[in-house]
Structure 1
Amino acid sequence: MQDLYEEVRSRAGRYFDEGYNCAQAVALSNIEALKGRADGVRQLAAGFGRGMNAGCACGAVCGGILAIGCLLAGPETKGFDETVEEAAAELHRRFAAEFGLVCCKGLRKKLSPFKNARCRNITVTAAAITLDLLLARKKPSPAPVGVHAL
């Protein structure tokens, strides 16, 4: 099991180093590690980096929520899904407990003036937290088009 966490952390870091934004790195690392298909995820997550380019919610959290939705929601999910809602809320709570806040601008000011050092660590940590939440809630339901469930 520890190998899976290392794989997700490594993938997230590698994606970040290759120029993917934090949301893309977190979403892709989790979906791929759990054998999902990541078709379209790069495009879906593209606008969430740098706090949606407005500095609001951290893109790494947004990417985690994308992975949670892709892997836990069924193809017929409409509106709210209790499992997805709980996992998303828990990701937000655990991320805030780890870093003190979820605001991208605040994180950038608080943690480091050096983007790559700061954001890479946040990205890798958010990927591991997301994996933990996904593994705790995995279910065998079919996934939406382009993504395979756990």
Structure 2
Amino acid sequence: MTLVNTMEYNKDDLLDKVQEDAENLFRSGTYFCSEAVLQTINELLGKPYDENIVKLASGFPIGMGKAQCLCGAVSGGQMGLGIVYGRVEGEPMKDKMFDVSKKLHDYIIDEYKSTCCRVITRKWQGDDFKSPERKEHCITITGMVARWVANELIEDNKIQVGR
């Protein structure tokens, strides 16, 4: 995704673009799940951090370094939310950070009954994460999480849309 003037999009079209961009970053092999979500959200926000921010997400794919624990897309989404709601030294924690983080967690629980990579991908256990079907499943989750984060930011007026 390149920087985009969000005012040129209505909400649904922008959300479609965010989802597609995150999915394409993963599908192309440019990034894995956590990296694709974080990079897409950073770019959507006008790159408050340079492209090196994606390095922060590089340890999270396949459930934290292939441990198959917390879904990498969810990790990337949480980092994306932190761009907007996070804090720096000396600042008080914003209640909104906890609220929106839990909301993302609960969204994935509602969709997949877990945030654990090994549970979400259990259908492909034993394929060492190599099947095209498993990859497509994870690409879908990556796009869903990026879209969810973008929607929350739009709903909270952190991202403006036009039309």
The TM-score, its normalising length taken from structure 1, stands at 0.82
Give the count of matched residue pairs.
Answer: 140
Any gaps of 5 or more consecutive residues in structure 1?
141-150
% identity of equivalent residues: 29
Q: 2:99 aligns with which of 86, 96, 116?
A: 86
Q: Does 1:9 align with 2:1?
A: no
Alpha-carbon distance change, 95 to 77 in structure 1, aligned in 2, over 3 angstroms = farther
In 1, the alpha carbon distance for the partners of 2:13 and 2:58 equals 28
The TM-score, its normalising length taken from structure 2, stands at 0.76
Alpha-carbon distance change, 77 to 3 in structure 1, aligned in 2, over 3 angstroms = farther
Alpha-carbon RMSD across the aligned residues, in angstroms, is: 2.2
Q: 1:48 aligns with which of 51, 54, 60?
A: 60
The higher radius of gyration belongs to 2
Give the superposition deviation at 1:45.
Answer: 0.3
Structure number with higher helix proportion: 1
Hey, what does 1:143 align to over in structure 2? Answer: none
Any gaps of 5 or more consecutive residues in structure 2?
1-10, 126-130
Q: Which residue identity is paired with 2:18?
A: V
SS at match of 1:98: helix
Alignment of 1:1-150 (within 5 A): 1-19=11-29, 20-39=31-50, 40-52=52-64, 53-75=66-88, 78=91, 80-110=93-123, 114-139=133-158
In 1, the alpha carbon distance for the partners of 2:92 and 2:102 equals 16
